Structure 1
């Protein structure tokens, strides 16, 4: 049986680094931190860059910290920042969703609001996965979702990059980023 000090030290550090699940979870967080960071960088020429740079930079930082120390997702400050940011993303998603329903004329990915909506949904889902990982070990379906979600944005970027027809309908500020 572990002493109280040893048990609390082990809990604070999270699962053993050699664990395959822990390694995949940390790698997925690192990949998502890179994605969120890149998503923030490409917003520099957007009509409202400050909003979108913050929308992606906050989860980039929170996710990077989780990749380095998964147990941090149980920290009160981390949870508060994540919850606040997720709530803002949910409100933004609702506004963008309404705008799309009222004004969309093409495929949702052809609409700038559609791409922004997908970005906010990805942020919200990822922050939810990170938050829930602190209480329960991430495995099975949730780990599969995490791995899929960490690969999905890069696959979408590649798809959009090779799809010249899709890029043709973009506003100028979107065409100059890629």
Structure 2
């Protein structure tokens, strides 16, 4: 909910990223996301799970990386509210990644074979 509120504030007023309170809340949230993502990555490495999209922890790891990257983009936009080409490309990739990952998993028959029954009958 924290990144959603922070992003909503940016959507309503892009200059809010220059606010000290917004910057601190954003920085603390990104820090906790990175720490939690590192712990999940360590947990997955200990279990030698290399197909991380099959594991709940792997999907959560990708979600945390997306949130941390998105909030970092918003945090750095206070210097240049319009943004550069690189920021635009990164934002587009981040926004499209969940859809492309879902499409890859849905098309890949090997991955679908290990799904639980309730996941196979959803679509």
Displacement after TM superposition at 1:101 (Å): 0.8
Q: Which residue of 1 aligns with 2:47?
A: 103
> Separation in 2 of the partners of 1:172 and 1:67?
40
- Rg bigger for which structure? 1
Pairing 1:118–2:62 present: yes
Pairing 1:127–2:71 present: yes
Q: Which residue of 1 aligns with 2:93?
A: 148
> Separation in 2 of the partners of 1:125 and 1:61?
16
Contact residue 96 and residue 117 of structure 1 kept, 8 A:
yes
* Deviation string, structure 1 residues 108-166 (Cα, Å, up to 9, x no partner): 21122111111111111111000000112411111111122112222223333454643
> Separation in 2 of the partners of 1:147 and 1:73?
20
Moved more, 142-151 or 168-177: 168-177
> Separation in 2 of the partners of 1:174 and 1:82?
34
Change in CA separation of 1:102 and 1:151 when aligned onto 2, cut-off 3 Å: same
Q: Which runs of 5+ in 2 are unaligned?
A: none
Change in CA separation of 1:81 and 1:172 when aligned onto 2, cut-off 3 Å: farther
Question: What is the TM-score normalised by the length of structure 2?
Answer: 0.81
Q: Which runs of 4+ in 1 moved over 6 A?
A: 171-178
Question: What is the TM-score normalised by the length of structure 1?
Answer: 0.59
- The root-mean-square deviation of aligned C-alpha atoms, in Å, is 2.5
Q: Which runs of 5+ in 1 are unaligned?
A: 1-56
Contact residue 112 and residue 170 of structure 1 kept, 8 A:
no
> Separation in 1 of the partners of 2:66 and 2:117?
24
